[in-house]
Structure 1
């Protein structure tokens, strides 16, 4: 009653429908006591239009507007919502003004119905598309919906609010920005088997916010929709959910175990493993593909690709197992991929010099790049590591480890004795210089972690959900707790049953004892009560009755009862009254 404006959003929870109706009805009943005008804004759902017939059957692309709100037909599961809308509008005829906003599916700041697709993409799974994916899904950013509600407080109107035309398949641009970029077509019925989805996803409505465009002018957050602003929406999603990338460099001498440690960390935190060897292989494969299948749209001629490919192969033959500065800059492109920007990365054994670190993370170097890649101003924001893990070992330990490695491992990692000695000497020479790579990280307040420190505790797990190892450990912990809890419950039940059995035996013994006492008391009372009657019968009745029975047996009359009655009357030892004689 003290509010000038009341806003109810019934788009998320069905139980809010009854509450909103109660609030509107209670306020409407108090209109006579209003000190001034009051406004009730109901933020409803476009599902109350889901089964509406097009205004013009010959033009199916003609959008719905609120001018034909009277003809809307709700989805069967949203009959309560449309009934609420009608009753709220009907109340708004007095000082109590009511307005209904049919909002599109809401997104932004952590997502709601679209969270299912964001989570799938973040976990690296294909984006699901139910049915043909051509249905038009009206959407609205939550900030734009809030700004509309604020504008309604100043300018009274009613509208069906969505500001873009987008198909369900168009929504899968989420997968291209947040995940691998692949989609998977599924039957539309599968949407009902997923608990995180609702009927709203399969709706197909082309709507136009006519009053919004006509009466309101405010700064839209996503004026042109989810697809056009997908980068902004994904950034909001990461921040609101705390899904920040974990970026790590693993450095150290050759054969110290950088690959093993990097793979373990990647598996634990679900990160992308980046190596110089892998980036070179990917670059060669991409150049070979460009040579075989030239594409003018890529902006690189076949001749340029062939020259770069030949140059890279020549340098690799001259210096196998390593790469020159020009080739390793391909790491920059790898770090700017969606998996590295979203989930994070583990960069193994690179950079090896301070100059390489500056070029890779800051984009500052006088060395021209072979592949014409330009660093962006926001490059350092996305690619610079947060943690540096520096593995250390003595030269004797490394030599002994190399000698005991399997032959396949030696060939794969180029750890032959002569190559390993040369690589170790080159590493030691770089470490003896004053301008080593670790100085770059110290300058940027990134303190390298030594191998002896607990890596898992030093890092900050900010990925989506626990890793497989964490899941297994959590399952084992929960299983142990469940077994202990079940054992404790069984012990408690057994103890309760034993206590109850003992109490039952004690109650039965007490009841039996009391029953015996009552029975004995009743017998004594019966004996005392029947003693005079029994004496009278034995003295006065039984002798005459015995004689009568004896006489009856001797005479054997046809009616023994009548015979015995006459006998008792005749031989009564007492004098009978005159009326009986």
Structure 2
């Protein structure tokens, strides 16, 4: 019997790039699976049941809690027994007795972007330092490496495998007991099969490859490093099969939730592009797998220690061509139309990169034999994306928080409903729905059909008209939706658009009056609101319902349900209920004065005149009383109703009211920035910061230069002023200076020159004293011996001593 060294209570797992698309779902599923494994272990452990009637189990050894309720439970023989925790240290409590359950798995993970790290209880972050990475890898029982998104992870995966091998060798040398093998799972890509030659290249429905054909696989030129990494992992697993369990999971294109590669099509469909592009002919098979199913495969490998080294394919059971993927995304979420473009034109789309293009243009047909026969996972998407497209689209909208913004703008005539609707539509990128717009889009066809019907006998029904009277006429067929080129395979026309055309035709055929009934108006509006374009981003419903009867068809009391809440045409369909209802109103006097101040051109555009305004106001007041009006119904349905008196904001262009609505409705809704857009934004910020610093340095230099120029200008002015002042001073003192010069030349310089010459010849020790004494004694004009000219003599003379 093999002596197995007991493992720690927690099973340590390493997972790289836990913030990537696949990584975060694998992490989430592993974290959840850890609690399920812990709970299963407790359920399978020895139960904490005691029978006090057995003789071999004395009651006194059990230390019951001293509470009366617990003692009474024991005496009554109830199953639930409360026992002191000190009873047994080794016994495992049951799940019912656990106050908190710890996960069986302890997960370590690295990040793609460490700047966006947030505290998360599901894993412990591993730093970028080599020593910390090495330490974590050596302590883990399972290492999962995903190399599909980043080629830089390939050398790190092989480095981690080196650490595991050295750890196993060291344990084998130092430990006599058997160590459970470490599990290494490499998540690779199906692009290593991209150029594998098919068994029958002519067959449009090729035979799928499975795990037994993995030696035949030929990689795409851009994925040769992934292929080499797969081979290296498999070879090392065979070399150390008793120490390391190695698995290569060949992952198909993962989809689901917020989407990754397929987000290119989902985003364009949600943005209401007229056509979704299909690259090439679209007959290539794109292997897919839901990211939840991929996570289940990884968790099943981790949770099944009996599995041996294996190469397995993680892919859906039914392959799907690219054109069907694009077509059904367009049908469910977009316009319903697709467009075939050259493969080279794909890079004209800014979101397209080489990685996405390679996966969408490769044709790979694979079959997950090992997963189906051995793992027996509970598939979330057992068939394929096309069959579950509605659920996938709903997942995408929920995870991306793409709930449509539906706004009803109601109110009396001349309150600016259309102007506000246009402003809201432009700001929030919403479509405007109004009866006038619906009718104006088909004015030309209406005129044509009227002429057509006037020349022909009126048929019995619209179907007779469609099939016989107008078939063969290109314009009429286009209008009726009959001319659809391969609608099942190519350009699928939306049901809402077709229904609208048939309703208009029915109105033209069966209506003798020019006015359309409320029932037909409601049907037209409902079809517009249910279109994909309106359900993606939302819509602004302009001026509907105008009256209570349009909301509840005919009799308002007839449509009251059991809880006395009116059931309107919107209540039965959750997609039609608005998020906000904006009601514009004011006094009749103000509205009439407002229309009188409206420019004549705008009045002509709205077809309003004084008589028409009065008639419309009377109709609105009659059908929208205080007790019965559409806003009361929406309030009753807990819809936010914004009531605005336009007389408080008299600006003609609705700027103030639009500003108020923006503050209430919030910012525009849509996609956040993609990874590439975030990188571009980061680069733009750095470039802007660099330009700002350079601009600051340049401005500083310019300021210094300007100061230097100003200083030089001031110095020049100062020197000029000083020079002029010197000239004026010289001119002023020139006569005096000549007199002084003559005096010095005749009286001082001769004796001074003689004294200096003698001083230079004799060079006495104290030249200054010698010079002074010489001048004193040898001054030819001096009177130094006259007491009158000495200081003492002058003093004596002044004191009358002599």
TM range (shorter): 0.7 to 0.9
Q: CA deviation at 1:25?
A: 2.3
- 1:534 aligned partner: none
Secondary structure of 1:77's aligned partner: helix
- The answer to whether the Cα contact below 8 Å between 2:551 and 2:569 also exists between their aligned partners in 1 is no
1:145 and 2:289 equivalent?
no
Within a 5 Å distance, the mapping from 1:429-508 to structure 2 comes to: 429-451=622-644, 452=657, 454-464=660-670, 487-492=695-700, 494=702
Change (3 A) 1:180 1:481: farther
- Which residue in 1 is equivalent to 2:233? 88
Question: Does the CA contact (< 8 Å) of 1:354 and 1:439 recur in 2?
Answer: no
- Pair 419,495 (structure 1): closer, same or farther in 2 beyond 3 Å: closer
Report Cα offsets for 1:1-45 as digits up to 9, x if no partner: 343332222111221222222112221222232832221111110
| 1:71 alignment partner, one of 189, 202, 216 | 216
Find the counterpart in structure 2 of residue 130 from structure 1.
279
Change (3 A) 1:48 1:352: same
Deviations 1:501-541 (CA, angstroms, capped at 9, x unpaired): xxxxxxxxxxxxxxxxxxxxxxxxxxxxxxxxxxxxxxxxx
Contact kept? 2:579, 2:640, Cα under 8 Å: no
Between 113-122 and 244-253, report the one with greater CA deviation.
113-122
104-113 or 177-186: bigger deviation: 177-186
User: Following TM superposition, by how much is the alpha carbon of 1:89 offset from its aligned partner in structure 2, in angstroms?
Assistant: 1.1
RMSD over equivalenced CA pairs, Å = 3.9
CA distance in 1, matches of 2:425, 2:440: 20
Describe the SS at the equivalent of 1:44. strand
TM-score (norm 2): 0.53
The equivalent of 1:335 in structure 2 is 529
Change in 2 beyond 3 A, CA 1:102/1:492? farther
- For 1:422 and 1:151, locate their aligned partners in 2 and report how far apart those are by CA, in whole Å: 73
Match status 1:203 vs 2:362 = yes
What SS does the corresponding residue of 1:98 show, helix, strand or coil? strand
- State the SS of the aligned residue for 1:220: coil
Q: CA deviation at 1:408?
A: 6.3
Q: Secondary structure at 1:109's aligned position in 2?
A: coil
Which of 89, 107, 110 pairs up with 2:255? 107
Shift in alpha-carbon separation, 1:152–1:55, aligned structure 2, 3 A: farther
Equivalent in 116, 139, 156 of residue 19 of structure 1: 156
- 1:349 aligned to 2:543? yes
CA contact (8 A) 1:38 1:96 kept: yes
1:44 has 2:193 as partner:
no
Query: Aligned in 2, Cα 1:482/1:353: closer, same or farther, shift over 3 Å?
Result: farther
Report if aligned partners of 1:290, 1:305 keep a CA contact under 8 Å in 2.
no
- TM-superposed CA distance for 1:278, in Å, is 3.7
Distance in 1 between residues matched to 2:587 and 2:571, nearest whole Å: 40
Residue 552 of structure 2 contacts residue 569 of structure 2 at CA under 8 Å; is this kept in 1?
Answer: no
Q: Counterparts of 1:355-434 in structure 2 under 5 Å?
A: 356-357=550-551, 365=559, 379-380=573-574, 382-405=575-598, 409-410=602-603, 413-434=606-627
Displacement of 1:277 after TM fit? 3.3
Find the aligned partners of 2:382 and 2:277 in 1 and give their Cα distance.
Answer: 26
- Kept in 1, the 8 Å contact 2:188–2:249? The answer is yes
**Aligned mate of 1:293, from 457, 460, 466:** 466
Instruction: Return closer, same or farther for 1:124/1:496 CA change in 2, 3 Å cut-off.
Output: farther
1:400–1:378: structure 2 CA closer, same or farther, 3 Å change rule? closer
Give the drift of 1:138: 0.6
CA shift in 2, pair 1:397/1:486, >3 Å: farther
CA 1:175–1:307: 2 relative to 1, 3 Å:
closer
Q: Would the alpha carbon gap of residues 306 and 224 (structure 1) be closer, same or farther in structure 2, given more than 3 Å must change?
A: same
CA distance in 2, matches of 1:311, 1:403: 39
For residues 375 and 439 of structure 1, do their structure 2 counterparts lie closer, same or farther at Cα, with a shift above 3 Å needed?
A: closer
Distance in structure 2 (CA, Å) of the matches to 1:406 and 1:223:
64
Once the two structures are TM-superposed, the CA of residue 454 in structure 1 deviates from its matched residue by 0.9
Contact 1:47 1:74 in 2 (8 A): yes
- Which residue of 2 is the match for residue 159 of structure 1? 312
Alpha-carbon contact 2:547-2:624 (below 8 Å) kept: no
Match of 2:340 in 1: 185
The structural deviation recorded for 1:392 is 2.1
Cα separation, partners in 2 of 1:91 and 1:14, compared to 1, 3 Å? same
Of 368, 373, 379, 1:220 maps to 379
Secondary structure at the counterpart of residue 180 of structure 2: coil
* Structure 1 unmatched ranges of 5 or more: 368-373, 467-473, 501-581
Match of 1:246 in 2: 405
- How many angstroms apart in 2 are the aligned matches of 1:42 and 1:324? 63
| Compared CA separation, residues 327 and 89, structure 1 to 2 (3 A) | same
Relative contact order, CA 8 A, sep 6+: which one is greater?
A: 1
Return the alpha-carbon distance in structure 2 between the equivalents of residues 328 and 276 of structure 1: 10
State the Cα deviation string for residues 290-323 of structure 1 (Å, max 9, x = none): 665346999x99xx979942576435x2x4xx74
Q: Are the counterparts in 2 of residues 246 and 460 from structure 1 also a CA contact under 8 Å?
A: no
Change in 2 beyond 3 A, CA 1:415/1:58? closer
TM-score when normalising by structure 1:
0.72
Tell me, yes or no, if structure 1 residue 314 matches structure 2 residue 520: no
CA distance in 2, matches of 1:431, 1:58: 70
**Residues 243 and 462, structure 1, Cα contact 8 Å, conserved in 2:** no
Aligned twin of 2:114 = none
Q: Which residue of 2 aligns with 1:261?
A: 420
The 1:345–1:497 alpha-carbon spacing in structure 2 relative to 1, beyond 3 Å, is: same
| Unmatched 5+ stretches in structure 2 | 1-137, 173-178, 450-461, 468-481, 488-494, 562-567, 645-656, 673-680, 709-802
Mapped contact 2:407–2:582 kept (Cα < 8 A): yes
The SS at the match of 2:321 is: coil
Which residue is 1:117 aligned to?
265
Asked if 2 retains the 8 angstrom alpha-carbon contact of 1:144 and 1:220, the reply is: yes
> Within 2, Cα distance between the matches of 1:11 and 1:496?
56
SS in 2 for 1:43: strand
Residues 518 and 550 in structure 2, CA contact (< 8 A), matched pair in contact too: no
**SS of corresponding position for 1:250:** strand
In 1: Cα distance, 2:553 partner to 2:303 partner: 54
Matched residues in 2 for 1:486 and 1:252: separation?
55
Task: Give distance in 1, aligned partners of 2:463 and 2:695.
Answer: 66
Distance in 2 between residues matched to 1:377 and 1:436, nearest whole Å:
16
Aligned partner of residue 226 in structure 1, secondary structure: coil
State the 1:234 CA deviation: 1.6
State the alpha-carbon separation in 2 of the partners of residues 377 and 444 from structure 1: 9
Partner SS state of residue 247, structure 1: strand
Summarize the Cα distance change of 1:31–1:314 in structure 2 as closer, same or farther, 3 Å threshold. farther
Conservation of the 8 A alpha-carbon contact between 1:130 and 1:185: yes
Q: Deviations over 1:24-72 (max 9, x none)?
A: 2221222232832221111110000111112456757111111110111
3-state SS of paired residue (1:454):
helix
Aligned pairs, number? 475
Alpha-carbon spacing, 1:240–1:378, altered in 2? closer, same or farther (3 Å): farther
